[in-house]
Copies of this chain bind each other. A is one copy, B any other.
Amino acid sequence: MNDRTDSPDSPSEMITRDTAPLNVEMPFSSLREFITPNERFYVRGHFPIPEVNAETWRLKVEGAVARPLELSYAELRQMPGQTITATMECAGNGRSFLEPKVKGVQWDMGAIGNAQWTGVLLRDVIERAGLQPYGIEAILEGSDKGAIKEPPRPAGEIHYARSIPIKKAMSNVLLAYEMNGEPLTPDHGYPVRAIVPGWFGMASVKWLQRVTVTERPFGGYYQTIDYVYWEERDGFPTIVPLAEMKLKAQIARPSMGERVPAGAEYRVFGAAWAGENEVAEVEVSTDGGSNWSGAKLLGDPVPHAWRFWEFTWKTPSKPGKHRLIARAKDPSGQTQPAERNANHGSYMIDHWLPIEVEVR
């Protein structure tokens, strides 16, 4: 269908952005399966991958609960389990598109994946400990740890930790031990990780070791200094922790810089997602955003999962450069912004991401 060397039908290599910590993404142009194979699911780490022994692993549940408890891996697996499908996007996915450049892993578009996760509902675990009515957040702590380099930073080493509102914690958050039917690998949080459906990946804490229900908002490093954005509140720019994924469509094919045959039919293909909402529509522009056409949504909608889409582009007969853009809409008609919101810092890259191609 095109002349790229990294044809989607060949086993395209994953792209390693960092080795310490390990940060790996899928070449998004190789998108094919609705369920991302485990070895093609992006990996984002903050510290060295901890070696955890499932035999001795314990999950502590404490804080604003009636009966603080510790669960072993065997006990967790004996609790009623369930399997959910959930798409997870790194909050910095698409960062390589930002101008001017910002600090952080220079993710292209592949820091996203969709998997089937099997585990126990966090709700069931918290209920076993007895939620106190004054608990307002649940802090999820991983066993990964290290020192923060730049101030403002706490002293010494810290564990990766994020909190979620208690309402979300008591709904559909999963403590997962399987990914696509296989035990988690160390890269993906073995033995147990959180899955927070609809939220950016930073909430789905890996190598989970502690759940602390709190009476006040959590002010940890990854809640206040990193993984935050700015929002106007009460007339002042105010820091807010990242949470839900934003409405977003990405073009997998053609890929950036691809040469596309003139006077032909080309299948533009990609995925779209909407956090806790639904994708109602995807539109494609082949002229940099002036005109838009509806794309065809593929398959059936799955809650918290991406939706694949396609669009047949009748390419011009004359050679030339073209900018392809896809944008998603939710059921209320909301769509993606054309321009970058500078208050998003280095995160939530949900504006139009043009793919430049050459027709010839």
Q: For the complex, give the distance between the alpha carbons of A212 and B232 in Å.
A: 14
B237 touches A220 (CB 8 A): yes
Specify which of B216, B239, B345, B346 is in contact with A219 (CB 8 Å cutoff).
Answer: B239
Q: For the complex, give the distance between the alpha carbons of A218 and B219 in Å.
A: 13
Would you call A11 an interface residue if the criterion is a C-beta within 8 Å of the partner chain's C-beta atoms?
no
Given known pairs A218-B238, A221-B239, the reply for A155 and B228 (CB within 8 Å) is no
A234 touches B214 (CB 8 A): yes
Mark each residue of chain A from 203 to 236: 1 if its CB lies under 8 Å from any CB of chain B, else 0.
Answer: 0000000101010111111001110101001111
B341 touches A228 (CB 8 A): no
- State the 7 A-B residue pairs at the shortest beta-carbon distance, nearest first: A155-B342, A154-B237, A219-B238, A154-B230, A219-B239, A155-B343, A224-B239
Q: Which residues of B contact A346 (CB under 8 A)?
A: 151
Q: For the complex, give the distance between the alpha carbons of A152 and B158 in Å.
A: 20
Q: Can you spell out 11 A-B residue pairs with CB atoms less than 8 angstroms apart?
A: A151-B345, A151-B346, A152-B230, A152-B345, A155-B237, A210-B235, A214-B234, A216-B233, A218-B238, A220-B236, A220-B239
Q: For the complex, give the distance between the alpha carbons of A214 and B139 in Å.
A: 26
A155 touches B239 (CB 8 A): no
Would you call A350 an interface residue if the criterion is a C-beta within 8 Å of the partner chain's C-beta atoms?
no
Q: How far is the CB of A222 from chain B (nearest CB, A)?
A: 10
Mark each residue of chain A from 231 to 266: 1 if its CB lies under 8 Å from any CB of chain B, else 0.
Answer: 001111111100000000000000000000000000
| Residues of chain A having any CB pair with chain B under 8 Å | 62-63, 102-103, 139, 141, 151-156, 158-159, 161, 210, 212, 214, 216-221, 224-226, 228, 230, 233-240, 341-343, 345-346
Specify which of B158, B219, B343 is in contact with A154 (CB 8 Å cutoff).
Answer: B343
Q: For the complex, give the distance between the alpha carbons of A240 and B154 in Å.
A: 11
Q: For the complex, give the distance between the alpha carbons of A226 and B225 in Å.
A: 10
Q: Which of A151, A152, A343 has the most CB of B within 10 A?
A: A152
